[in-house]
A and B are shown apart, each in its own frame.
Chain A
């Protein structure tokens, strides 16, 4: 417990220090504005702003830090509220707050909500008090109906989304590393494409039979020198045209 108290005090000290810094820099700024408004220039003015904002950042950092004990769990209670002038208070606040009265407490100790919030609360309370019991019940059932409908929609969407994401993980396998390596090796080095059996010792077997014989339209004649004459007219007309044109052409050779 004691350790906690100590921790709390340290934090409070740090926050206080920051607040004093902040106050000083705001003071300096105001002073500058009042005294040097004739010859103040933008950069120094902005520097002052930067100073203030850095103090603010420091303050938020301290408050947001995890070591900081949760300050909002603590309550500040006014122990003595009086209409009399309090000299000690005047000293403490540098002459800003002379009396700690009922007027001031809600604002200074934040025991009152924001004016806007307060107004809204009031409006709602008024509405509620004007309703009859029957109407209220009706509205409640209606509201429940709407909420359950929305819940239905959300859960349905979620179900659909889950199904979709499940099926997507199924599709996700769109490429396989093994296939990539296989294909790349095939394109690059002809891995798995060579037919060693067809390599004869003689120079005549340079182009394997697959090109020569059974697949003539694919390039047999043009690719194997030996068979051009034999297969002669078999391949596409275009190619023979090229050949004959070459022979006929007067400037080719």
Chain B
């Protein structure tokens, strides 16, 4: 079947279920003092032994667009690598679903690579900045699972980069897979892996929408 346009190819991918549009996610944190220990364990468990740990240092900007008729603003995240020349990443994340029957949190997810004009473009469209932070850390991979261990750094207005302060004394640990719909065994795979990181890190499905109410 010949595909003529991008729109057609997108719908083709969706219909045939090979467009990865669901993110399975488990989250946890590790104290600064124990992060070395966790890194050692991840090095042992993960695939990219020879090159690991892969580092990253990204700035993530979350932009929102207030839509008429709905309370929920449309949120888009734009990530760009600091200190390395790479395309910007734009990501849409849907509402997290915490289903008792599934071992992980599931949310719809769309990724797309962009040029550096994306923020201008979004601003022109009426998006406004919701929040931003710097994530600096390490990335591991095991099969199709991605494990990131990152420090979140708050950007303090009016100061130099060095003055930006970490949000907490812990690293956030995320285990995620982006897969097409209908691949339920992914969750099980992740649960088994998360089990191997205990008791260092408790990776759990955390509904952050609910956390918002806790002061």
Task: Give A residues with C-beta under 8 Å from B.
Answer: 171-177, 179-195, 198-199, 206-211, 213-215, 217-219, 222-225, 236, 238-239, 242
Q: Is B178 an interface residue (CB 8 A)?
A: no
Q: Is B158 an interface residue (CB 8 A)?
A: yes
B167 with A183: CB separation less than 8 A: yes
A225 with B161: CB separation less than 8 A: no
Instruction: Point out the residue from B82, B119, B168 that lies within 8 Å of A182, measured CB to CB.
Output: B168
Binary contact readout B33-64 vs A (1 if CB under 8 angstroms, 0 otherwise): 11001100000000000000000000101100
B129 with A174: CB separation less than 8 A: no
A180 with B82: CB separation less than 8 A: no
Q: Is B106 an interface residue (CB 8 A)?
A: no
Stretch among B15-23, B183-191, B204-212 lining the A interface: B204-212
Write out the residue numbers on chain B whose beta carbons fall within 8 Å of the beta carbon of A183.
Answer: 27, 29, 152, 167-168, 170, 172
Q: Is B99 an interface residue (CB 8 A)?
A: no
Write out the residue numbers on chain B whose beta carbons fall within 8 Å of the beta carbon of A222.
Answer: 80, 116-117, 119-120
B30 to chain A, nearest CB (A): 5
Query: Can you give 24 A-B contacts (C-beta < 8 A)?
Result: A173-B31, A174-B33, A174-B38, A174-B201, A175-B31, A181-B206, A183-B152, A183-B170, A184-B208, A185-B212, A188-B209, A190-B132, A193-B132, A193-B167, A206-B123, A214-B158, A214-B159, A214-B160, A215-B161, A222-B117, A223-B61, A223-B119, A225-B124, A242-B116
Write out the residue numbers on chain B whose beta carbons fall within 8 Å of the beta carbon of A188.
Answer: 96, 208-209, 211
A198 with B167: CB separation less than 8 A: no
Write out the residue numbers on chain A whose beta carbons fall within 8 Å of the beta carbon of B27.
Answer: 180, 183-184, 187
A179 with B29: CB separation less than 8 A: yes
Instruction: Point out the residue from B119, B132, B157, B199 that lies within 8 Å of A172, measured CB to CB.
Output: B199
With A181-B211, A185-B208, A186-B133 as known contacts, state yes or no: A218 contacts B172, CB within 8 Å. Answer: no
Instruction: Point out the residue from B155, B158, B160, B214 that lies within 8 Å of A181, measured CB to CB.
Output: B214
CA distance A198 to B132 in the complex (A): 13
A144 to chain B, nearest CB (A): 44
CA distance A6 to B113 in the complex (A): 86
B202 to chain A, nearest CB (A): 6
A171 with B152: CB separation less than 8 A: no
Write out the residue numbers on chain B whose beta carbons fall within 8 Å of the beta carbon of A209.
Answer: 157-158
Binary contact readout B1-35 vs A (1 if CB under 8 angstroms, 0 otherwise): 00000000000000000000000000111110110
If A174-B30, A206-B128, A239-B116 are given as contacts, then 19 extra A-B residue pairs at C-beta distance below 8 Å, sorted by A number, are A174-B31, A176-B29, A179-B168, A180-B29, A181-B206, A184-B29, A184-B206, A185-B208, A187-B133, A193-B132, A193-B133, A194-B131, A207-B123, A209-B158, A210-B132, A211-B129, A222-B120, A225-B123, A239-B85
A174 with B200: CB separation less than 8 A: yes
A195 with B202: CB separation less than 8 A: no
Write out the residue numbers on chain B whose beta carbons fall within 8 Å of the beta carbon of A223.
Answer: 61, 119-120
CA distance A171 to B29 in the complex (A): 15
Closest A residue to B170 by CB, please name it.
A179
Q: Is B74 an interface residue (CB 8 A)?
A: no
CA distance A174 to B30 in the complex (A): 6
CA distance A238 to B158 in the complex (A): 26
Write out the residue numbers on chain B whose beta carbons fall within 8 Å of the beta carbon of A173.
Answer: 31
CA distance A191 to B154 in the complex (A): 11
Q: Is B98 an interface residue (CB 8 A)?
A: no
B129 with A206: CB separation less than 8 A: yes
A168 to chain B, nearest CB (A): 10
Closest A residue to B134 by CB, please name it.
A218
Instruction: Point out the residue from B59, B62, B115, B128 that lies within 8 Å of A218, measured CB to CB.
Output: B59
Q: Is B195 an interface residue (CB 8 A)?
A: no
B79 to chain A, nearest CB (A): 11
A177 to chain B, nearest CB (A): 8
B170 with A225: CB separation less than 8 A: no
A27 to chain B, nearest CB (A): 54
